[in-house]
């Protein structure tokens, strides 16, 4: 059976149109965009065209896009850059308990540097409470960083409202849109975002390139010092081929976003229905309505996510587990814990994330294989229990 890839939240394949655009810049068009000669000017023009394309995807101006090495760097630059630039104004940052580690670990680092960080709790569906957010803002708050959609369960946060609250209180608002840009509508004006993180490899672009949107007028302290590239905000010779690839990926995503998200939502709902109809006790995680259209997070109590992922992999189907099994213990994901999901349910969590190559036939096959895997693992787990041999808790 041809492999079925259902892990598009982890990464996506580079699409043919993107690769085609990139190749000339890995071959003959090798100029440095900072050089003033013809090869340099060709590279500069390509970088600037890519900047326009990225900006268009999120309703920004090209001059507000700063290329980085990916979503992780964009998040670090947004948080550390704001903290350092505004430390004389205040030392308080608000984020949520379910952010990607690129935000959470950066916040922990900032705490070690003397900043105060409020990690807002979320409800059982993974949504931040707006009243709690309003209450957390103080005169010392310099930044609110709340992700647009969660990468594990797909819950979309009320970012428009959060942006409005931030604007009213004159606090900068950053949102990590790595999982949403190119998938659902993202517009920096509608979101009132001052800073917004993007990554190319989630939208059929290359790995190792991303961007930070910085609203005109907002000034950040750089993380990297050097050759003054990206208006001094991100020094280092531009990764031209990857930037070009990111631009093309954004252009294609903008063109296809509407129809593709509807198609994926239908397929995701089909997957959910096929599994729910045949397996009792399976719980869907995340918000029922405000959820990424291509994501399905499921928990099967009393099984381990990693076991299901391994068995599905043997059947040629790639997906992700929600919690990791390390030696004898299962490390429960911080997202599922923060949502208050009990450990016996969190341990058995897996994530399907669909993408542009998935067909209805593939989804039917994946649902069928999953039901089979779960039934088999349940029999095995009952056997292990009866022998007192359950191996990993
Ligand atoms: N933010 C979110 C929500 C993500 O899902 C990811 C990657 O999985 C990142 C940030 C990091 O992006 P990158 O892999 O480009 O560093």
> Can you give the three-state secondary structure of 154-219, one letter per residue?
CEECCHHHHHHHHHHCCCEEEEECCCCECCECCCHHHHCCCEEEEEHHHCCCCCCCEEEEECCCCC
Mean residue pLDDT across the chain: 95
Question: Rounded to the nearest whole angstrom, what is the distance from the C-alpha of residue 82 to the centroid of ligand 1?
Answer: 19
Q: Which residue has the tokens 């090495």?
A: 69
pLDDT-derived band at 392 (thresholds 50, 70, 90) equals low
Cα(344)–Cα(310) distance, integer angstroms = 19
What was the pLDDT predicted at 121?
A: 98
Phi, psi of 358 (to 5 degrees): -75, 135
Atom of ligand 1 nearest to the CA of 149: 3
Name the DSSP letter for residue 289.
S
- The confidence score (pLDDT) of residue 335 equals 97
The reply to whether ligand 1 has any atom less than 6 angstroms from the CB of 102 is yes
CB of 206 sitting under 6 A from ligand 1? no
Q: What is the DSSP string of 324-367?
A: EEETTEEE--HHHHHTT--HHHHTTEEEEE--TT--HHHHHHHH
Any atom of ligand 1 within 6 Å of the Cβ of 71: yes
pLDDT on residue 306? 95
Pocket test residue of 10, 11, 68, 71 for ligand 1, highest count of atoms within 8 A of CB? 71
**176 backbone dihedrals φ, ψ, rounded to 5°:** -85, 105
Active site residue 325: yes
Atom 13 in ligand 1: which residue has the minimum CA distance?
A: 71
154 lines ligand 1 (CB under 6 A): no
**Residue owning the nearest CA to atom 10 of ligand 1:** 71
- Give the C-alpha separation, 349 to 323, whole Å: 7
List b or e across 231-263, with b for residues whose CB sees 16 or more CB atoms inside 10 angstroms: eebbeeebbbbbbbbbbbbbbbbbeebeebbeb
**Atom of ligand 1 lying closest to residue 70 CA:** 15
pLDDT tens profile 71-112? 999 999 999 999 999 999 999 999 999 999 999 999 999 999
Q: Is 199 touching ligand 1 by the criterion CB < 6 Å?
A: yes
Q: Tell me: the pLDDT tens digits for 331-357?
A: 889 999 999 999 999 999 999 999 999
Q: Residue 318 forms beta bridges with which residues?
A: 5
Instruction: State the Cα–Cα distance between residues 251 and 234, nearest whole angstrom.
Output: 23
- Taking only the tens place, the pLDDT of each residue in 143-172 is 999 999 999 999 999 999 999 999 999 999
245 within ligand 1 shell (Cβ under 6 A): no
* Residue 325 pLDDT level (bands cut at 50, 70, 90): low
Give the position, in ligand 1's atom list, of the atom nearest the Cα of 147.
3
* Residues 251-293: tens digit of each pLDDT: 999 999 999 999 999 999 999 999 999 999 999 999 999 999 9
Distance 111 CA to ligand 1 centre (A): 21
Distance CA 285, CA 55 (A): 33
What value does the mean pLDDT take over residues 123-135?
Answer: 98
3-class secondary-structure state, position 8? coil
71 C-alpha vs ligand 1 centroid, how far in Å?
5
Place of tokens 């709690």: 132
Going from the Cα of 136 to the center of ligand 1, the distance in angstroms, rounded, reads 26
pLDDT of residue 275: 98
Average pLDDT over residues 57-65: 98
Question: 16-253 belongs to which CATH class?
Answer: alpha beta
- Rounded distance, CA 253 to CA 248, Å? 8
Sign of the dihedral defined by the CA atoms of residues 158, 184, 83, 333, in that order: positive
Neighbours of 389 (CB within 10 A): 9
Helix/strand number for the chain, H first, E second: 12, 15
Q: How far is the CA of 74 from the centre of ligand 1 (A)?
A: 9
- DSSP 8-state class, residue 377: H
Residue 223 pLDDT? 97
Q: Catalogue the E-assigned strands of the chain.
A: 4-5, 65-68, 92-96, 116-120, 141-145, 172-176, 195-199, 210-214, 283-285, 295-299, 317-318, 320-321, 324-326, 329-331, 349-353
pTM for the predicted model, two decimal places: 0.96
- Whether 239 lines ligand 1, by a CB cut-off of 6 Å, is no
Q: Ligand 1 center to residue 67 CA distance, Å?
A: 15
Q: Is 179 in the pocket of ligand 1 (CB under 6 A)?
A: yes
- Could you say which of 9, 21, 250, 325 is catalytic? 325
Asked whether 292 lines ligand 1 (CB < 6 A), one says no
Residue 363 CA to residue 53 CA, distance in Å, equals 32
Residue bearing the CA closest to ligand 1, atom 14: 71
Domain ranges of the chain: 4-9+257-387, 16-253
**Burial class of residue 371 (count of CB atoms within 10 Å of its CB; 0-12, 13-18, 19+):** middle
Q: Is 194's C-beta closer than 6 angstroms to any atom of ligand 1?
A: no
Cβ burial of 82 (10 Å; 0-12, 13-18, 19+) is buried
Report the SS3 class of residue 311.
Answer: helix
181, 199, 206: residue to mutate for ligand 1 pocket, most atoms within 8 A of CB = 199
Q: Which sign, positive or negative, has the C-alpha torsion 186, 187, 191, 195?
A: positive
Bridge partners, 276 (sequence order): none
Q: What are phi and psi of 172, to 5 degrees?
A: -70, 145
For the domain made up of 4-9+257-387, give the CATH fold. 3.90.1150
């Amino acid at each position: 059976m041809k492999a079925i890839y259902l892990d598009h939240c982890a990464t996506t394949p580079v699409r043919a149109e993107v690769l085609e655009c990139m190749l000339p810049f890995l071959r003959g068009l090798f100029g440095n965009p900072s050089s003033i000669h013809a090869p340099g000017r060709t590279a500069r023009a390509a970088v600037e065209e890519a900047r326009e394309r990225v900006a268009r995807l999120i309703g920004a101006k090209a001059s507000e896009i700063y290329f980085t090495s990916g979503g992780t760097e964009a998040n670090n630059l947004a948080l550390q850059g704001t903290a350092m630039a505004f430390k004389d104004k205040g030392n308080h940052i608000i984020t949520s308990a379910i952010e990607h580690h690129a935000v959470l670990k950066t916040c922990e680092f900032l705490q070690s540097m003397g900043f105060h960080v409020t990690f807002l709790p979320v409800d059982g569906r993974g949504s931040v409470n707006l009243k709690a957010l309003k209450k957390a803002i103080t005169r010392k708050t310099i930044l609110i960083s709340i992700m647009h959609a969660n990468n594990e369960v797909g819950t979309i946060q009320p970012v428009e409202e959060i942006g409005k609250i931030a604007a009213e209180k004159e606090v900068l608002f950053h949102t990590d849109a790595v999982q949403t840009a190119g998938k659902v509508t993202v517009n920096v004006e509608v979101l009132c975002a001052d800073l917004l993180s993007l990554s190319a490899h989630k939208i059929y672009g290359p790995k190792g390139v991303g961007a930070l949107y910085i609203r005109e007028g907002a000034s950040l302290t750089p993380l990297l010092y050097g050759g003054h590239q990206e208006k001094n905000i991100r020094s280092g010779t531009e990764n031209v081929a990857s930037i070009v690839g990111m631009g093309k990926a954004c252009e294609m995503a903008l063109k296809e976003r509407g129809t593709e998200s509807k198609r994926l939502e239908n397929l995701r709902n089909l997957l959910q229905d096929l599994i729910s109809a045949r397996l009792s006790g399976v719980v869907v995680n995340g918000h029922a309505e405000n959820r990424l259209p291509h994501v399905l997070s499921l928990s099967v109590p009393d099984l381990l996510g990693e076991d299901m992922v391994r068995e599905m992999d043997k059947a040629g189907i790639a997906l992700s587990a929600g919690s990791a099994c390390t030696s004898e213990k299962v490390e429960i994901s911080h997202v599922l814990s923060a949502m208050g999901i009990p450990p016996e349910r969190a341990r058995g969590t897996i994530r399907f994330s669909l993408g542009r190559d998935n067909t209805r036939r593939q989804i039917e096959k994946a649902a069928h294989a999953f039901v089979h895997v779960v039934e088999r693992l349940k029999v095995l787990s009952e056997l292990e229990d009866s022998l007192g041999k359950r191996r990993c808790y």
